[in-house]
């Protein structure tokens, strides 16, 4: 049997750790708040991210983007459709600050703590590229890559954004 055909436990270690971490977080929130929904929400998120990361690790190089796109689809649709539309949860940053100032532990505050602070701190910049509904929508848009800056005399105009 070739070395390439052997199963490598290191490839599934990260997806399993991600799944277990989300399940532990969901269980802790369920036990502290009494709402079992947290266990289902975080369990779904952890399994979705774990499956995507596992596919990314296991698939050949040409098929690796399939894992990321699957994760974006599962997590993005969950956050956008289920949490945003069906549950009427406001996950905008303004609501996160309002919850923080009011002393509430709302969905927006939890979302920003996990998705914007602890996730990138632990996993780097790729975190939002794998589990963000905004990235899911932007990845579906057609765009063309430009070679760089547009030539011309209007280049200074971008610095006006920094003016008070």
Q: What is the mean pLDDT of residues 3-19?
A: 74
Q: What is the pLDDT of residues 81-139, one digit of tens each?
A: 877 676 667 666 667 676 777 777 677 777 777 777 777 777 666 666 776 777 777 77
The verdict on residue 114 lying in a domain is no
d(Cα 47, Cα 71) in Å, to the nearest integer?
Answer: 9
Q: Domain residues for 7?
A: 3-88+126-140
pLDDT of 31: 93
Q: Are 93 and 86 in contact (CB under 8 A)?
A: no
Return the structure tokens found at 38: 């947290």
d(Cα 150, Cα 44) in Å, to the nearest integer?
Answer: 44
Q: Is the dihedral of CA 125, 48, 18, 96 positive or negative?
A: positive
The verdict on residue 111 lying in a domain is no
The verdict on residue 75 lying in a domain is yes
pLDDT band at 27; cut points 50, 70, 90: very high
The verdict on residue 84 lying in a domain is yes
Domain count, the chain: 1
Phi first, then psi: what are they for 91, rounded to 5°? -110, 25
The verdict on residue 22 lying in a domain is yes
The verdict on residue 159 lying in a domain is no
- 96: how many CB neighbours lie within 10 A of its CB? 20
What is the C-alpha R_g of the chain?
20
Residue 71 vs residues 17, 83, 84: alpha-carbon distances, Å: 16, 16, 18
- The position carrying tokens 């914007």 is 116
The verdict on residue 68 lying in a domain is yes
Look at the pTM and tell me if it is higher than 0.85.
no
């Amino acid at each position: 049997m070739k070395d390439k055909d052997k199963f490598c436990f290191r490839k599934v270690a990260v997806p399993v750790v991600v799944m277990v971490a989300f399940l532990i977080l969901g269980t802790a929130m369920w036990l502290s708040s009494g709402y079992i929904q947290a266990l289902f929400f975080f369990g779904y998120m952890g399994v979705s991210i774990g499956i995507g990361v596992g596919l990314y690790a296991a698939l050949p190089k040409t098929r690796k983007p399939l894992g990321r796109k699957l994760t974006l689809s599962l997590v993005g649709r969950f956050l956008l459709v289920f949490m945003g539309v069906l549950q009427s949860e406001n996950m905008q940053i303004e609501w996160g600050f309002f919850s923080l100032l009011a002393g509430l532990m709302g969905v927006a505050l939890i979302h920003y703590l996990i998705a914007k602070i602890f996730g990138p701190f632990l996993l780097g910049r790729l975190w939002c590229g794998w589990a963000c509904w905004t990235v899911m929508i932007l990845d579906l848009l057609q765009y063309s890559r430009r070679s760089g800056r547009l030539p011309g005399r209007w280049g200074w105009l971008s610095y006006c954004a920094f003016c008070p």
